[in-house]
Amino acid sequence: MKPAKFDYLRPRDLAEAVRALAAGGEDARLLAGGQSLGPMLNLRVVAPSLLVDLSRLAELGEISERGDSAVLGAGVTHAQIEDGALSNATVGLAQRVASGIAYRPVRNRGTVGGSLAHADPCGDWAPVMMALGAELDIRGAHGTRRLAASQLIAAPLMTTLARDEAIVSIQVPMLGGKARWGHVKFCRKPGDFAESLAVVVIDAARDAARVVLASRTGVPAHLFATEQCLRSRGKAGGDAWSAIAAAIEQDVEEHALRGHWSGYDRSLHRATLTRAVKEALI
Amino acid sequence: MTTIAITVNGETMRAEVEPRLSLADFLREQCRLTGTHLGCEHGVCGACTVLVNDRTVRSCITLAVAVDGAAVRTVEGYDGDPLMALIRRCFNECHALQCGYCTPGMLAVAYDVVRRLPQADRARIKAELGGNLCRCTGYLGAVNAIARAAEIWSAGSERVGAFLAARDRR
């Protein structure tokens, strides 16, 4: 038995969960699959006073398509997505992402909502949901709200969620049939956290091009110059690679200054970005 | 303390446990099933992998209270299971273990791979085994054993029966 002592509640529904979270004070935490929290508990990096276990709540298990959005419950596991849960809506992107997260035994318990709320700078889902233009349905003790995935992570391991809030579901805009994506995750060992992760989604039908980079420093960020370049390229129908390469370079320079990147970081992120853009274009 | 009931290898185990007790410690200390091994205790090495409701799970980072009511299968729970008999025989013949510490987790993953991905090629088997650390074998034996078990299992129950019977006669 390695974690410090904590109280444990398995709520009947989400309403009880957020009430308990609000009443539990500063050190109360939500537990989903526990695949990040579990190690942190065992290493005593965290010592919550109360764990509110969401893993049995049927309300968080939804997988459906409504109009032009897919709805993914926060409690859906990586393994369910690996087995195809969001494959249609994302033209295979979600399946690729899920199958690269840790290992099957971890994917069998780890959840997409838990991964987002944990806000690891190299977590797999935040950059992907940002690139998909997803929105999160959030429920707190005092009501519900909707939040763009790009507005979730404030700092490494820190979200913009209030203490009494939980992610209920993720609304993922369905990609058009002609949408293209690229996803390049660099790590030295299968299943490891990314050292660099670049995601590109180009959906001409929605006039959307999103490019997101995650690294071990800072938080996942949109790369605006590259996004702009890919969007205007879509309209003009040209395919001058030199303009795209220049936009990537501009983004890399900007983030290198902001994130104090080393020369190695620069070439690593440039490489993952370039490969992801090429995967989306070719 | 919380009262839980977990079906372990077909038998319901009831216990009063602290919420911070891991499933691995529940199995080893309350159920006295010490076949489940603990290596790193933070979800990296895979030695503690068991089946929970038929899916592989890291028992060291899963709380016992969180799987209250579930059915757990440990390495002790495969008596009379033809697939595990086949996998064990293949592990034996391919020298897929030396000290045996990682083996309970390897067997659980092998069991899952053969059932879920019977057509897996060697690259896929290696990727699936990526979450199980072994300090002795260099992994080659384990990959060979799973590839062999998958091939024989895919060929049908007659082939499995013939394979096991031939080995038993030796």
**pLDDT-derived band of residue B37, with 50, 70 and 90 as boundaries?**
very high
Write the residue in B62, B68, B127 that is nearest to A34 by C-beta.
B62
Distance CA A115, CA A47 (A): 19
Q: State residue A206's pLDDT score.
A: 87
**pLDDT-derived band of residue B113, with 50, 70 and 90 as boundaries?**
very high
A263: number of CA atoms within 13 Å, CB side? 0
User: Is B164 part of the contact surface with chain A (CB cutoff 8 Å)?
Assistant: no
- pLDDT tens-digit series, residues B15-24: 999 999 999 9
**pLDDT-derived band of residue B84, with 50, 70 and 90 as boundaries?**
very high
CB contact under 8 A, A190 and B60: no
Query: Interface pTM (ipTM) of the complex?
Result: 0.96
Residue type, A186: F
Q: State residue A125's pLDDT score.
A: 98
Residue type, A126: A
Do A65 and A89 contact (CB within 8 A), yes or no?
Answer: yes
Do A200 and A131 contact (CB within 8 A), yes or no?
Answer: yes
Q: How far is CA A142 from CA A58, A152, B104, in A?
A: 21, 19, 47
The residue count for chain B: 170
Q: State residue A234's pLDDT score.
A: 61
Instruction: Give percent of chain B above pLDDT 70.
Output: 99
User: Is B58 part of the contact surface with chain A (CB cutoff 8 Å)?
Assistant: yes
A3: left (phi over 0), alpha (psi -120 to 50) or beta: beta
Of the candidates A200, A175, A198, which has an alpha carbon nearest to the alpha carbon of residue A187? A198
User: Is A47 part of the contact surface with chain B (CB cutoff 8 Å)?
Assistant: no
Distance CA A86, CA B45 (A): 29
Distance CA A256, CA A250 (A): 10
Q: Which contacts (CB < 8 Å, 24+ apart) does range A250-255 have?
A: A250/A225, A250/A226, A251/A211, A251/A213, A251/A223, A251/A224, A251/A225, A251/A226, A254/A225, A255/A213, A255/A218, A255/A221, A255/A223
CB contact under 8 A, B57 and A105: yes
User: Is A198 part of the contact surface with chain B (CB cutoff 8 Å)?
Assistant: no
Residue type, A221: A
Q: A55 to chain B: nearest residue by CA? A: B66
Question: What Rg, from alpha-carbon coordinates, does chain A have?
Answer: 19
Distance CA B119, CA B131 (A): 20
Write the residue in B41, B52, B112 that is nearest to A42 by C-beta.
B41
Residues of chain A with pLDDT under 70: 234-239
Q: Which residues of A touch B128 (CB under 8 A)?
A: 103-104
Of the candidates B137, B156, B37, B31, which has an alpha carbon nearest to the alpha carbon of residue B92? B137
CB contact under 8 A, B43 and A39: yes
Q: Which residues of B touch A44 (CB under 8 A)?
A: none
User: Is A238 part of the contact surface with chain B (CB cutoff 8 Å)?
Assistant: no
Q: State residue B132's pLDDT score.
A: 97
Q: State residue A278's pLDDT score.
A: 96
- pLDDT tens-digit series, residues B141-169: 999 999 999 999 999 999 999 999 998 87
Distance CA A201, CA A132 (A): 7
Do A229 and A244 contact (CB within 8 A), yes or no?
Answer: yes
Q: In what order do the strands lie in the sheet with A196-203?
A: A180-186, A196-203, A208-215, A221-222
User: Is A57 part of the contact surface with chain B (CB cutoff 8 Å)?
Assistant: no
Q: B43 to chain A: nearest residue by CA? A: A39
Distance CA A272, CA B170 (A): 54
Q: Which residues of B touch A1 (CB under 8 A)?
A: 18, 20-22, 25
Angle between helices B157-169 and B82-93 (to 10 degrees): 50
Write the residue in A1, A43, A104 that is nearest to B25 by C-beta.
A1
Q: B2 to chain A: nearest residue by CA? A: A8
Write the residue in A2, A8, A190 that is nearest to B2 by C-beta.
A8
Q: Which residues of A touch B130 (CB under 8 A)?
A: 103, 189-191
For residues B71, A50, A17, A43, the Cα torsion angle rounded to the nearest 10 degrees is -60
CB contact under 8 A, B66 and A55: yes
Find where tokens 């006669």 sit. B169
Contacts of A122 (CB under 8 A, 6+ apart): A193, A194, A195, A197, A214, A215, A216
CB contact under 8 A, A38 and B43: yes
User: Is A84 part of the contact surface with chain B (CB cutoff 8 Å)?
Assistant: no
- A contact test, residue of B18, B36, B63 with most A CBs within 10 A: B63
Distance CA A155, CA B48 (A): 33
Q: A39 to chain B: nearest residue by CA? A: B42
CB contact under 8 A, A7 and B19: yes
CB contact under 8 A, B46 and A103: yes
